[in-house]
Structure 1
Amino acid sequence: MEEKYFTPEEKKEMLALSRQLLAHTREIQERDDFKRIRHIISDGIKQNHYRRDRYGINPTIHNLNTAMLLCDKISPDRNMIIAILLFNLCKTEFIPTEELVKEWGDDIAKLIRGLLKVSTLYSKQAAVESDNFRKLLLTFAEDIRVIIIMIVDRLALMRTINHHPNEKMVHDVAYESNYLYAPLAHRLGLYAIKSELEDLSLKYTNRKTYTDIAHKLNETKVKRDQYIAEFIKPIREKLDATGLKYEIKGRTKSIYSIWNKLKKQKNDIDHIYDLFAIRIIIDTTTEKEKSDCWLAYSVITDMYQPNPSRMKDWLSIPKSNGYESLHITVYGPGDRWVEVQIRTKRMDLIAEKGLAAHWKYKGIKSEGDLDTWMNNVRDILEAAETGPMELMKNMKMDIYDKEVFVFTPKGDLYKLPLGASLLDFAFHIHSKLGMTCTGGKVNGKNQKLNYKLKSGDTVEILTSTAQAPKLDWLAFVVTSKARNKIRQTVHEMNNRSATLGKELLERRFKNRKIELNESSLMKVIKKLGYKTVTDFYDAIADESLDINNVITEYEGLDKKIPDAAEIRSAEEFQLMTAADDDSTSSDVLVIGDDIKGINYRLSKCCNPIYGDDVFGFISAEGVIKIHRHDCPNATNIREKYPYRLITTRWSGKLGQQFGATLRIVGNDDLGIVTSITSIINKERDTSLRSISIDSNDGIFQGFLVVGVNDTVALNNLIKKLKTVKGVKDVQRSK
């Protein structure tokens, strides 16, 4: 089976890599490690569990190359190498988890679990352009060694795919390597890997440019080295004369860096200022740092003409990230511009490892705690004498354990605090989305507003124009943006609602020709159990408090309630029947753009019924209230809140009764109430809900609330009531 599995070239390469790996790991491997691994892989190949990937890449060769790169570029580590070699067999479940732990131990099992977890990210197809994707990798990886394996594995893949026939795959892998893996390598201090990933990425995505720059550098290498030596020689002589302790480094930029310069400066390679750079590092005390750097500056500029526009003084005022250095560009021999960086050993250490963290200087964003943590990791990588990987086994990647990362359906990625709800996510994307959010779909399943997000969730937000923020939302949102916006909006809505409620009350008092006294009103507010005037007016605006009840309480403050036996006329006659709920979810009304089934309320200020010209108004609580076009409050609503109006029409579906209020005036007569109720009771599909009648000097006036199907039935009822003896006028009350 293995004879068919390997091509002759692959078998030759496999044997060579096995010998090299054996030699590199002789001191760290345990007895029979490689014999056992070879046996397992052989069985996996025979049972088709160690098969090539969809691009034809042989996993055995690839994993051996990855293991060798780990040894060469970082440090040999037994557990990491075994995890690399066995990962594919665990992914296909050829090696069960229980057997993995039993045969190879918890640490190797932990590494492979991390690799398996990270591999699931790619099923999400998230855009690697998202800077959060790097953080999500760190969150899922749990172990820094997993990230290191991924980086080395990617370099092995990049070396393998040169001239691969699948050009799209090569391009995609190269692009991802440049955006994701190179910065990760940089943060870990794996500079050689970072530069090679960037160069190979350019090579595969823009081969002509890469080849042109490479040829140009090869052609000029000898001349460039000679030029650097010529440039440095007089500087050394002058610096030696000053007594400064220093070292000078000359370096050529990577092909990728040169390409970036070419793009930014829109120039050719012969005119790039810093195709190579000279770095002068001075060994001095903290007190003399600036003066010694300026002394070196003086020596260099005495010999070579500086370009003032290219000078960058980060000695006098360091960068906000702590970077300190003096950059100058001088006109050197042969009419060429050369960049010179002057700094002390302390400054160089900070630029490489400390506050500045070299990746910030290069424009790669930093995330606070990650900088410190990554610097510690880099120190271990560079300074540990007893095997850096051994020291990292217990270093957990919990730098983002206080955050969650979630996807949109399109694959965009967002970061939120741990414990964030679905509503937090809606506000995070846009405030308007949060204020109209009614819930969402998480991984395809409907979830409520208070659903707590988990890393890796795919979230789709659902909204409704009828939705509005509520104070109880504060119980489950955790982000400051959401909390502040909810408080602000609710406060504004309450103020608007209270203003509207006050206007409604004042208008009703005026219509009833009742003088409004603030002192008496405060007594009513207190009697009704409201703590503040704002709460009272809010209740009127949202119709949880009936204005008619307020008027009754107000008028009853100075009146003695008569005994029932003393009632001889229509005066104070009260009949109350259970009213139908004025909220409905039926399809009697069509609201907005032909949307049916939305909950609404028929406003009590005008009591619209079927057949009335109506409009919808989104109240402060987000409930749609239906008003008649000739409602007493309509003009005020249209002027102050035009953005909260919504078109509404009757759908044609009958069968529901509506409450309508009639104002009736007539001569006081004991039989008047009986006559009125008799007519109403005889009407088909009409019901009497309540009567409230007052009598004064033989004249009565009162209000009837009747249940009718539509305006036609109501108009017929009005005509019949007007025929009752003693009734002077019947009108529909607004």
Structure 2
Amino acid sequence: MDGSGPHQFDVEDLLALVRNYNPRCNAALIREAWAYGARMHEGQLRYSGEPYFTHPVAVAAILTEMRLDDATIVTALLHDVIEDTRSTWEEVSRLFGREIADLVDGVTKLTNLQLSGAQSKQAENFRKLFMAMSRDLRVILVKLADRLHNMRTIRSMRSEKQVQKARETMDIFAPLAGRMGMQWMREELEDLAFKVINPEARNSIIRRFLTLQKATGDVIPTITADLRAVLERDGIEADVFGRAKKPFSIWRKMQEKQLSFSRLSDIYGFRIITRSEADCYKTLGIIHQRWRMVPGRFKDYISQPKANGYRSIHTTVSGRDGTRIEVQIRTRQMHEVAEAGVAAHWAYRDGVPTQNPFAVDPGTWVEQLNDRLGEEDHDAFLENVKLEMYSDQVFCFTPKGDVIQLPKGATPIDFAYAIHTRIGNSSVGAKVDGIRVPLWTRLKNGQSVEVITAAGQRPQAAWLDIVETGRAKAAIRRSLREEDRSRFIRLGHELARVAFEHVGRKLTDKALRTAARTLAMPDTDELLARIGSAEISAQEVLGALYPELAHAPAEISADRAVAGLEADQSFTRAPCCAPLPGERIVGITYRGKGVVIHAIDCPVMADFEDQPDRWVDLRWRVGRHPPSYGVRLLLTIRHDAGVLGRICTLIGSQGANISDLEFVDRKPDFYKLRVEVELRDHEHLHALMTALEAESDVAQVARIRDPSLKP
């Protein structure tokens, strides 16, 4: 695909790849798209110095591996013409039809989305990503193939850009490929990103693996032969394939289970492709008779398929010399869906769309995914998207035998909300396999769950920290808002009345309506609810109506900034997460240190899950805080005369004080520096980062949170 060597990849080579699975393809359309794309990109070069058009061609070739339709292949050839050349949607539509023009436009819009960056912007762009998926999932397939080729050729980029792209790939594109059932693409994207983010760890895994092979020999051919032999003896026709797992897959397992490489098992995976579903179960029985099954490592995704259509039986057995091997058993049709995932819906064979009974309808799949992400709040939406994309599946049963599919780590509360919001809201307890358990119990595969409900029960705020699913979080937040609203309205009315009387004014319905309109709120109830919940102050309402009477709120001293402490308790901010006023916090008691406050999402909090007696429920006091809270930022700025001075001036103009500055990396064209700034609150941080991101001399800005800096 790179045009090197004795034979340059041309349109006839691409057509040969397409004809392998679609002999009746529209060759004229693909030739025309090739010629148009080559003409539009003429003179453009990639970072590596190759002609730019080699990239769209490589993307198209990747999509032929998934046996995709002509429209998707043509979209791949044209996917950058609207963004990077003089071409327009109107011209693409006139030459290639509206369907292809819309697909190309969709890929262009996705390319322009910044999926990493400021939290609120990231969440909004995730919404746009899911909207694009709901219009036509082929847009995402082209985008994933585009990212895969960019990751394969990432070495020609600047090192900072490599790291940024690799992190975005690891956080977003690899999990998305996995969620869509394209496991091979997920694994390759993860491994390519791993190579950039942590090359030392990857090389270490490869070195250890080679050492293991020297000591034990290549066990894959031996185990493959053993499997084939036992299947043939019992008359099972099947194909057997073996492979070593990817370095990142091994590394992740080492991290999750906190094991050294020498103690890690099942680093080899084997697939058995049978002729029928009945043969899958016969094969399972034969393997379990021949080798010892490892308890807790059996999953039957044939009887309980994943939402993306994935079907397979997974088991782990102890093979030769105690070597653990993972075996996946499935039919040919199941294997095609396991390789292509949701993309199997568009796959062709012999010129006609494949009639694979296991391929899921993409529209239904996206609709189900969007249903689980129905949350208005930016941060919650982003949290839910990431939960949904990273989640592994757990299958549990209702007392009637119905199956409920949940993400790994789900609780009986998630189970209750998955059945119905009303059941979730009224949950008071649960029985798992007939035994009463707390609502925070983590469910496991195959358990039977019975939810116990009571009239008058309402969701509790603590549930938000227990549940895993976006659906449960959204329903709990909605219920809490409704329950609190009437109380906040009454409290808000009283606070407003006192504030108005304090300046010699009377609180009237007309005054409230005028204030609501001035502050762009739909009605007076919303205004009063926000006053009661401390989202806005009564002083702000006064300021909106009578600017001359409003007083600036008194500044809260740093030693009184946190509410919820005992009279004799002092506090310090945790250096690992450096929480700011406006962020949700929790306190942890330390002997001799008082209370250390952490952000609620600080990774260090996991260390205290089994020490609930040390947790203290805290919150920041509402009001004006002094700019005295240190936060560390990592800036990548252009290396040029006067740039650093301008950046320091910009930080000062935002009311932030620089307390420390350290150069981390110096390159001929860029500097990377660590800056500690003193800020008032989370809003102040957001305003500063927005101003820095808008500065043309700043390539990247990120908040530093370092779990290694434990208190």
TM-score, length-normalised on structure 1? 0.44
TM-score, length-normalised on structure 2? 0.45
